Every structure is written in structure tokens, then in C-alpha cells.
């Protein structure tokens, strides 16, 4: 392999392959959901699993549709404002984004069977809602104190011989035409290949305890870095429901859910690096897109145990969502490095050498994801005919998420890593609604969700991974506060809700045990408006 000298290289990875592995962070992204739906549902914090009679309960406790006694049609839309603030060793950055959203549309068709029959009502429902909103801008950066992403690149290549690394470095050079293209060899990690080709990964000579010389891969020392990302898209959920009212005391429902995933992320990472008298910088850009569909079932029941009491409790089970997904990925790495002569003076380059490695088509991976089961218990009652109170608890073990290649072969390493990285998430929802006149009501709610990540969770990239996005974020506990206002006439209603969502995160631009977390505060303000008719 050549000695380091001032060099500018661009490497582009555009290919279709089977060695790009998904991670626990992908599983969390598509397994989780957010509080969203009708403005009444959101205004009460979503704590309506036992109260029912709102179209959005179709996705939490399907039995809630059984409490309708007439037809219902509603639609919801609003505005979202997101803000992220990062703190990396005292270096502060923030980003904001505002975007309108179409959040829900659905209907209930209610069939009355009889007043004295065991089955009183048979209801059918359909509802669309956005279960995840990914739209967010994020920026972070600061002083690295010698740590560098290039050291992670070097660690990826440390498993390979000096000859292999020389072959990767010299591929395409005169006299090396007999070498195989390293990008077609799935035994090599793409980020490591890119590091070698751009001289961000080199070969260093060291001595062991016996004074014997040996060689291994080395990276650079990082001085400072900067990271920016843009995320867009969401998960759209389409729910189809049938629900039963049995003697006005027992309600049962089943919902078939179809999820549509559309997610894009673009990132830019730059780092100023040095090594003795040598210095420079590099830029890594990644573009990532996920598309696909999933299917699940939700089963629910609501019981009113005392005939004279309005108190009800509910139970619901959500099966895993069986996803079929396609990831499309591309990456670009550029470095500009300056070296010193042996006498300490700087080299003056006569020209820059540009190299481009490209293939037609993006890196594409088809795979399957099975999300965890969810279990929900709820309780609700009304007081004096003017106040409704609801509470519910939900549990999902994210560590049980499973990833499979498209042919059904388990991603064993990633599944074991997911199990060791993720844990059960507990969610508590409470809400209330009070009628202040015959037509107007006020509402309030609160949600609390624990983190799905275990302490010390990190992003694992396989030694033969084609992914080059080293960054990862561990979200901590989430708090959500909601308020709402509603108007009801005989057949028309309109609702308004405001939701404030806040949670902390630990962000890491790359994996290194010594790298301190970037402390991130995430905030989202949502204003939601619902129009509906009941007849």
C-alpha cells in the first residue's frame, strides 16, 4: 500500500447486494407508534380503550367501535412543529421544522340488531391514521479530543491481511488489473473499503512486548466534527374493524391493520483530522430510503361488570406486525489530506488525483421484520353524566423483534444483538373530558413511555456490512401532554387538540466506548383539528 500523501478521492457506492444488515434501530423505528388520531382521542391522551365510541380506538382496543349506536364519519388534519437541540461537550446546535399533516379519516357503519336480543349492535369500521411521523431536522457537532470515525473504519478492516488491504487500495491502478473488485466481495465492509480507498485507513507498524514488529490498520485523530440529518415520511395505518355489542355490557372487536412505510433519511458528516504534522478533512454523505407494507391483527374486549354502574374495563392484544420492507442505500465519501515532508515542510501538490468507483443501481436489500406483541389493559367511567375518565397501560417487549432476509433466513447475529440491546417498553395513558355546557367539552391527557433501549446500547455494523451510516440515537423516556376542546350538535361535531411531546436522546456519530453522548432534547408541537358527522 502506498505511503500517505496529499490526496483527494471520491468513492460512490451504488450496487445491489445481499450483505447489508438491518439493526435494532431499524426495528424500533418501525415497531413504535405515536399518539395520533382524532382530536378528541388525542385531547384525552388516547386513554379511551375502555370508554370507546371514538373511531381512533379501532387501533388501541377494537371493542371500542362496539359502543357506537349510529353511523359516524370524521377526518382530521393539522400542523406539526418539531425542534431538536443538541449539546456535544458544550457545543450547542438546534434545528426546527414546521409541516402540515393529514392525520386521519374514517367511518363507522352501525347496525342495530334489537333491544332485547343478546347481540344488540353489529358495527363495521374503517380508519386511516398516521401512526408515525418521521419529519425532523437534526444538527450536532463539536470537539472530538482525538477520537475519530476513521478509527471505526480501521477496526472494520483489522480482520484482513495487509495484502488484501493493499489490493483494495491499489484496485484500478496500473499493473493491478488482475485484482478482483473489492466492492463485489461481500466479505469486506463497505465503510472500511471506502476508508482505505480515501486514505482514511492506513497501515501502521507497532512492536509487541517482545520487541517484535507487527502491522495493523490505523485511522486518524479527530479534531472536530459536524453532523446534519434530514428525515421525512411516516407510517400510514389502515384499519378494518368489526365489533359486537352484547347486551350493552360486553363489547368485542377485531381489527385488521395494514401498514404502509415510507421513510427517507439523508445525512452529512464531516470531520477535521490530524496525525502528527499531517492534517485534512473528509465528508461522508448517506442517503437511505425504506418502503414496504405490514399486516397485523388487534383483538379487544370491554366489560361493564356492574349493570347499574358506568364503570368499564378493557383488554386488548395486538399481534406483531409482519413487515416486508425494502431498503435502498447510497453513500459518498470525499477526503482531502495534507502531508509533510520528512524535513517538516508541507508538500505542494501539482495536481489532485480524483478516483470514482460507481455501479448502476443503488444498494438494495429486501427483508422482513416482525415487531413485538403488545398488551393493553384499560379502565374508564363517567361521573354524573358530565365527566369521563380513562386510563390504560400498554406493554411491548422490543427485544423480541426479529429480522429475516427475504428468503426467510433469520439474521441471527442481528437478532441476538437486538435481544441484548432492546427491552420492554411500558406506556401509561390517562385522560379526562368534562362537559362545560350542553354543546361544549374540555379535555386533557398525559402519556408516559419508558425507553426501549437498554443502558449502553450501541449500533452494531457487521464486519461484512454494506451500510456506512455509523450514527445512532438512544431515545430515553417520553412525556406527552395534551389539551382539547370539543363542540357537539345533534349531527355535527368538531374538535380541536394540542399535543406537546418531549423526550431526551443520546446521540453518537460513531461507535467508540470513549465517545461522550451528544445530549439531545426533542420537542414536537401538534395542533389537530377534526370535523365529523354522526347520524
Helix (H, G, I), strand (E, B) or coil at 251: strand
Name 240's bridge partners.
Answer: 126, 256
**C-alpha span between 123 and 108 (Å, rounded):** 7
Residue 182's pLDDT is what? 61
The CATH number of the structural domain formed by 7-534 is 2.40.160.60
- Give every CB contact of residue 362 below 8 A, 6+ residues apart in sequence: 14, 15, 16, 328, 329, 330
* CA 474-479-480 angle, 5° bins: 130
Judge contact between 317 and 296, C-beta under 8 A: no
Judge contact between 445 and 43, C-beta under 8 A: yes
The per-residue pLDDT for range 291-345, each reduced to its tens digit, is 999 999 999 999 999 999 999 999 999 999 999 999 998 888 888 888 766 555 5
Longest dimension (CA), the chain: 101
Residue 464's pLDDT is what? 60
pLDDT at 6 over 80: no
Q: State what percent of residues in the chain have pLDDT above 70.
A: 88
Most confident range, picked from 71-75, 87-91, 202-206, 460-464: 71-75
Q: Which three cell numbers stand for residue 434?
A: 368534562
Average pLDDT of the segment spanning 134-159: 94
- Give every CB contact of residue 92 below 8 A, 6+ residues apart in sequence: 85, 86
- Where do we find the cell 466492492? 183
Residue 190 per-residue DSSP state: H
Residue 209's pLDDT is what? 79
Residue 50 per-residue DSSP state: T
| Residue 460 phi, psi dihedral angles, 5° rounding | -100, 120
Report helix angle 412-421 to 24-31, nearest 10: 70
Q: Which three cell numbers stand for residue 306?
A: 356492574
Average pLDDT over the chain, rounded to an integer: 89
Higher pLDDT, 347 or 245: 245
Residue 385's pLDDT is what? 87
Report helix angle 162-170 to 190-197, nearest 10: 70
pLDDT at 178 over 60: no
Most confident range, picked from 6-10, 17-21, 103-107, 328-332: 103-107
Average pLDDT of the segment spanning 195-218: 85
Average pLDDT of the segment spanning 426-453: 97
Residue 241's pLDDT is what? 98
Direct distance between the N- and C-terminal alpha carbons of the chain, in angstroms, rounded to an integer: 78
Nearest to residue 267, comparing CAs of 149, 143, 385? Answer: 149
Nearest to residue 315, comparing CAs of 28, 46, 61, 44? Answer: 61
- Give every CB contact of residue 138 below 8 A, 6+ residues apart in sequence: 84, 86, 95, 227, 228, 229, 230, 231, 507, 520
Average pLDDT of the segment spanning 521-534: 97
Nearest to residue 287, comparing CAs of 342, 232, 329, 338? Answer: 329
Average pLDDT of the segment spanning 216-224: 94
Higher pLDDT, 74 or 178: 74
* CA 473-327-404 angle, 5° bins: 90
pLDDT at 114 over 50: yes
Residue 330's pLDDT is what? 87
Higher pLDDT, 187 or 308: 308
Among the ranges given (86-90, 156-160, 419-423, 441-445), the one the predictor scored with the smallest mean pLDDT? 156-160
Residue 154 per-residue DSSP state: H
Most confident range, picked from 151-160, 177-186, 244-253: 244-253
pLDDT at 479 over 60: yes
* Exposed/middle/buried for residue 54 (C-beta within 10 Å: 0-12, 13-18, 19+): buried
pLDDT at 132 over 80: yes
pLDDT at 283 over 60: yes
Among the ranges given (313-317, 436-440, 457-461, 497-501), the one the predictor scored with the smallest mean pLDDT? 457-461
Length of the chain equals 535
* CA 405-408-412 angle, 5° bins: 60
pLDDT at 17 over 50: no
Residue 44's pLDDT is what? 98
Query: Where does residue 52 fall: left (phi above 0), alpha (psi -120 to 50 degrees), or beta otherwise?
Result: left
**C-alpha span between 250 and 98 (Å, rounded):** 43
Sign of CA dihedral 40, 42, 43, 45: positive
Characterize the bridge pairing of strands 202-207 and 213-218.
antiparallel
Amino acid at each position: 500500500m502506498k505511503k500517505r500523501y496529499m490526496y483527494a478521492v471520491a468513492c460512490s457506492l451504488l450496487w445491489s447486494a445481499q450483505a447489508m444488515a438491518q439493526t435494532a434501530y431499524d426495528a424500533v423505528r418501525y415497531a413504535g407508534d405515536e399518539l395520533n388520531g382524532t382530536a378528541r382521542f388525542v385531547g384525552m391522551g388516547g386513554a379511551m380503550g375502555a370508554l370507546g365510541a371514538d373511531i381512533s380506538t379501532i387501533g388501541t382496543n377494537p371493542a371500542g367501535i362496539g359502543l357506537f349506536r349510529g353511523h359516524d364519519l370524521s377526518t382530521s388534519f393539522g400542523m406539526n412543529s418539531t425542534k431538536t437541540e443538541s449539546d456535544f461537550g458544550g457545543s450547542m446546535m438546534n434545528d426546527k421544522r414546521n409541516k402540515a399533516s393529514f392525520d386521519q379519516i374514517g367511518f363507522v357503519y352501525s347496525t342495530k340488531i334489537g333491544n332485547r336480543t343478546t347481540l344488540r349492535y353489529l358495527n363495521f369500521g374503517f380508519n386511516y391514521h398516521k401512526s408515525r411521523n418521521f419529519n425532523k431536522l437534526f444538527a450536532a457537532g463539536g470537539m472530538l479530543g482525538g477520537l475519530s470515525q476513521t478509527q471505526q473504519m480501521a477496526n472494520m478492516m483489522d480482520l484482513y491481511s495487509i495484502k488484501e488491504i493493499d489490493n483494495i487500495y491499489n484496485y484500478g491502478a496500473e499493473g493491478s488489473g488482475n485484482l478482483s473488485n473489492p466492492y463485489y466481495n461481500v466479505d469486506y465492509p463497505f465503510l472500511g473499503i471506502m476508508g482505505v480507498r480515501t486514505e482514511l485507513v492506513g497501515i501502521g507498524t507497532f512492536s509487541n512486548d517482545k520487541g517484535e514488529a507487527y502491522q495493523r490498520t490505523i485511522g486518524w485523530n479527530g479534531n472536530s466534527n459536524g453532523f446534519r440529518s434530514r428525515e421525512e415520511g411516516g407510517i400510514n395505518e389502515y384499519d378494518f374493524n368489526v365489533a359486537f355489542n352484547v347486551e350493552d355490557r360486553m363489547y368485542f372487536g377485531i381489527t385488521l391493520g395494514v401498514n404502509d412505510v415510507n421513510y427517507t433519511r439523508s445525512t452529512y458528516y464531516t470531520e477535521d483530522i490530524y496525525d502528527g504534522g499531517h492534517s485534512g478533512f473528509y465528508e461522508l454523505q448517506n442517503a437511505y430510503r425504506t418502503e414496504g407494507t405490514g399486516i397485523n391483527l388487534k383483538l379487544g374486549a370491554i366489560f361493564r361488570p356492574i349493570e347499574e354502574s358506568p364503570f368499564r374495563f378493557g383488554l386488548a392484544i395486538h399481534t406483531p406486525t409482519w413487515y416486508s420492507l425494502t431498503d435502498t442505500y447510497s453513500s459518498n465519501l470525499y477526503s482531502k489530506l495534507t502531508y509533510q515532508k520528512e524535513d517538516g515542510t508541507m508538500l505542494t501538490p501539482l495536481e489532485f488525483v480524483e478516483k470514482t468507483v460507481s455501479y448502476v443501481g443503488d444498494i438494495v436489500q429486501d427483508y422482513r421484520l416482525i415487531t413485538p406483541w403488545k398488551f393493553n389493559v384499560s379502565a374508564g367511567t363517567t361521573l354524573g353524566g358530565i365527566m369521563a375518565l380513562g386510563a390504560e397501560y400498554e406493554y411491548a417487549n422490543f427485544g423480541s423483534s426479529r429480522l429475516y432476509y427475504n428468503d426467510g433466513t433469520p439474521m441471527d447475529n442481528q437478532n441476538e444483538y437486538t435481544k441484548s440491546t432492546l427491552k420492554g417498553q411500558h406506556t401509561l395513558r390517562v385522560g379526562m373530558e368534562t362537559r362545560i355546557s350542553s354543546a361544549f367539552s374540555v379535555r386533557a391527557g398525559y402519556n408516559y413511555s419508558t425507553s426501549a433501549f437498554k443502558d449502553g446500547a450501541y449500533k452494531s455494523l457487521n464486519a461484512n456490512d454494506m451500510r456506512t451510516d455509523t450514527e445512532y440515537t438512544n431515545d430515553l423516556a417520553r412525556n406527552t401532554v395534551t389539551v382539547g376542546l370539543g363542540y357537539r350538535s345533534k349531527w355535527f361535531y368538531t374538535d380541536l387538540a394540542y399535543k406537546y411531546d418531549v423526550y431526551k436522546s443520546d446521540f453518537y456519530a460513531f461507535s467508540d466506548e470513549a465517545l461522550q453522548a451528544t445530549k439531545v432534547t426533542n420537542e414536537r408541537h401538534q395542533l389537530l383539528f377534526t370535523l365529523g358527522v354522526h347520524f
